[in-house]
Structure 1
């Protein structure tokens, strides 16, 4: 069978898709911009798919911060997608019987990967997040079901009240 006969048996979208798939490795190796956006796309897709799959699991114990430990065991593999390796230091100083407040200056959506790495060791830990994340599809719903505290940074009085309530809950339930 000749190449022209084979080409005529396929539609243009199929040929375009095949050509695109065969050029992906070349583009990936040659373009840092393409590699960057592809890794972010795959990272977000992996986390959203994982969160969607885990929704029935976190529905069993709604608003329980230990759901984050379960989710992190699956979501932590997203670090491999973006090429980040983690090294946790000082864990010998970590006393899981005490309450802690961990302060992290959030710079990127990649920051959550560090938390995914730490949650299995912290056991009972939650996060204060900005309210719009609560509406980020399966991720937001799963985060709410896992006990994240969402605050509206524009309504400072309400945010302070929520932070005070979260602090009291932290002490009562030994949440980090």
Structure 2
């Protein structure tokens, strides 16, 4: 009896190993966040207003890396890509800027306004209700022939951002922006 049960279980296991199921007909293999190609350097980030007029010598008018100063944007791409005048900007692992509108973008600095949230304010659910801020980018550094802003300063806080959240944001990344690693 014992051998019969063992033989039956073995036959069932072998038969199950040979079965292969195809993906459902309505599923496109390779789609979704992991199946999408990263934006090319110099291309607009999702949500970037590429039709915004160039001001003060900058702008994302289809320029490739090496022309103007960029930010390393990780919006939708963990590895990051060179971007100018992003609307949505994942600046570091701690801080994300959204709904950015740029008043100025030059080779040495950029000024704009938008919203900020990050890991430093998850306890107060700032992801669903981000804080309004003014921002300035600066301290360009050259990485593999392309200039990137490496620092930011919040120039204006909205009244709804408490002092403890301001301090937490400042301590999280000390105003430093992520830049690519030299190859």
User: TM-score, structure 2 length as denominator?
Assistant: 0.24
Relative contact order (C-alpha < 8 Å, sep 6+): which is higher? Answer: 1
More helix by share: 1
